[in-house]
Amino acid sequence: MDVIIADDEPLARDRLRRLLCAHGDVRVVGESGDGQATLEACARLRPDLVLLDIAMPGLDGMALARRLADLEAPPAVVFCTAYDSHALSAFDVAAIDYLMKPVRAERLAAALDRGRALLAGRDAAPATAVPPGRRALCARLGGQLRQIPLEDVLYLQAEEKYVVVHHTLGQDLLEESLRSLEDEFGLRFLRIHRNCLVARARLQALRRTPSGQVQALLRDVPQPLEVSRRCVAALKAELAAG
């Protein structure tokens, strides 16, 4: 996997280069300290992935990510920044991860794994138009931000003032409302209860308990989930439609 490091701080670039040395399949093909130079390097070198700072001279990281998406062979973008205030905007421009400085080795490794998975998917699938909108949810874990790809989400459950996202690697807290997530991702998630949305692709069946309660069975979710009466008809129609 060919990588370009884009950061106006030489020490930050050095640190990322040292961390990347632990990954034998990664080759650093270029480095740059400003947005315009990064854009030109990506057009020339066609890297698979860019480790991109946000606060850079001239063309900043956000603007650069939008420009990179227009390239004939756009690289995957991983933001590496000292600030968490741009996280949601980062995923609006389809970044695959958002790492907080100082970047930790394990978080970088996870971001590289996402990059490898993206490359494998591109190689396996025919070229199609990329749908607009976010491709991941942003969860906070201590002082770090974690990106959860939408395809990994099993279900979303409201608990007090947070939403818990249950995904293939565990669960995390989101600082977004269930209603806003339903409005944004209504084609991907189905409401089964006033406090729960499930991934449409994970819904396998409905079953009724001896007490008359309807439950939803999801692929890769061991426990059944409660379904409210008002949602049963829509879910049955969804299953009938395949």
Q: Are 88 and 94 in contact (CB under 8 A)?
A: no
Question: Domain count of the chain?
Answer: 2
Residue 213 is predicted with a pLDDT of 95
Residue 144 is predicted with a pLDDT of 67
Same domain, 12 and 97: yes
Residue 90 is predicted with a pLDDT of 59
Q: Are 234 and 182 in contact (CB under 8 A)?
A: no
Q: At what angle do helices 105-124 and 10-20 cross, to 10 degrees?
A: 70
Residue 88 is predicted with a pLDDT of 54
Same domain, 113 and 178: no
Residue 37 is predicted with a pLDDT of 94
Residue 219 is predicted with a pLDDT of 95
Give the CATH number for residue 48. 3.40.50.2300
Give the CATH number for residue 157. 2.40.50.1020
CA distance 61 to 77: 10
pLDDT along the chain (242 residues), means of 10: 96 96 96 94 95 90 89 91 66 77 91 86 51 73 76 93 91 89 88 96 95 96 95 90 73
Residue 70 is predicted with a pLDDT of 87
- Structural domain span for residue 11: 2-124
Residue 120 is predicted with a pLDDT of 80
